[in-house]
């Protein structure tokens, strides 16, 4: 019955794709949060002045994790070691890099209890931003169908069925966000 409504499937698919993008965004944001373990994705947002062009570190160096709490960065152009070191120092990573002229080492200490609590607050804020994005997507999608109902293109019963389906999608993606967020909090609070 609902599939016969003009634009129904397309609007529902767009809604679900946008909700999926919010979850993907959340996961990528969580990759940049340091939880005591070395994770090369922490460097994703750090840009280096590479001959006048701001370039991500992973596009100009090999990044390795030889130990659980260490990242090594080996620039392909050895003349850029100082630039990479400076970019890391100026970032919000909170790690002081050491270099030997060829390789940069980042050693991650265990975060303090206070730092862990700050990280959990950050995780919760990012998760709430993602939930708000999901709810906004629900509202935008239902607005389209509400206009269709107002213009008598669909019945009130059809709108109610659509509203229920969109709410089910919303619940599904908010649930995914909650699970990913809880997992990240547990990772941060692990000792």
37 and 65 in contact (C-beta within 8 Å)? no
Residue 104, classified by CB atoms within 10 Å of its CB into exposed (0-12), middle (13-18) or buried (19+), is: buried
CATH class of 2-32+112-189: mainly alpha
What is the CATH code for 40-107? Answer: 3.30.1360.40
Q: 42: closest CA among 27, 52, 30, 51?
A: 30
In angstroms, rounded to a whole number, what is the distance separating the alpha carbons of residues 166 and 13?
10
Q: Residue 159 contacts by C-beta under 8 Å, 6 or more apart in sequence? A: 145, 146, 148, 149
**pLDDT (tens digit, 9 = 90+) per residue, 134-153?**
999 999 999 988 998 888 88
**pLDDT (tens digit, 9 = 90+) per residue, 92-147?**
777 788 888 888 888 877 778 888 888 889 899 999 999 999 999 999 999 988 99
Decide whether 2-32+112-189 matches 40-107 in CATH topology: no
Domain boundaries, the chain: 2-32+112-189, 40-107
Distances (CA, A) of 167 to 2, 30, 107, 136: 15, 26, 45, 12
Looking from the CA of 96 toward its CB, the CA atoms found within 13 Å total: 0
Confidence of residue 191 (pLDDT cuts 50, 70, 90): low
Q: 140: closest CA among 166, 159, 160?
A: 166
In angstroms, rounded to a whole number, what is the distance separating the alpha carbons of residues 115 and 105?
22
Pair type for strands 70-75 and 61-67: antiparallel
What is the mean predicted confidence (pLDDT) over 35-59? 81
**pLDDT (tens digit, 9 = 90+) per residue, 54-104?**
888 888 888 888 887 788 888 898 888 888 888 888 887 777 888 888 888
Which pLDDT belongs to residue 179?
Answer: 95
Q: Is the per-residue pLDDT at 1 higher than 50?
A: no
């Amino acid at each position: 019955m609902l599939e016969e409504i003009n634009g129904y499937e397309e609007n529902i698919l767009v809604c679900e794709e946008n909700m999926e993008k919010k979850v993907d965004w959340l996961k990528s944001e969580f990759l940049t949060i340091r939880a005591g373990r070395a994770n090369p994705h922490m460097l994703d947002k750090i840009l280096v002045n590479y001959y006048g062009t701001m370039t991500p570190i992973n596009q100009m160096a090999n990044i390795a994790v030889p130990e659980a709490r260490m990242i090594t960065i080996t620039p392909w152009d050895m003349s850029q070691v100082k630039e990479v070191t400076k970019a890391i120092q100026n970032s919000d990573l909170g790690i002081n890099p050491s270099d030997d002229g060829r390789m940069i080492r980042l050693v991650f200490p265990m975060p303090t209890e206070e730092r862990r609590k700050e990280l959990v607050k950050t995780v919760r804020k990012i998760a709430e931003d993602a939930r708000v994005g999901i709810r906004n997507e629900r509202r935008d999608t239902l607005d389209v169908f509400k206009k269709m109902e107002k213009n008598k293109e669909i019945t009130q019963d059809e709108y109610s069925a659509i509203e229920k389906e969109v709410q089910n999608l919303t619940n599904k993606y908010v649930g995914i966000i909650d699970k990913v967020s809880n997992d990240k909090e547990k990772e941060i609070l692990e000792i």
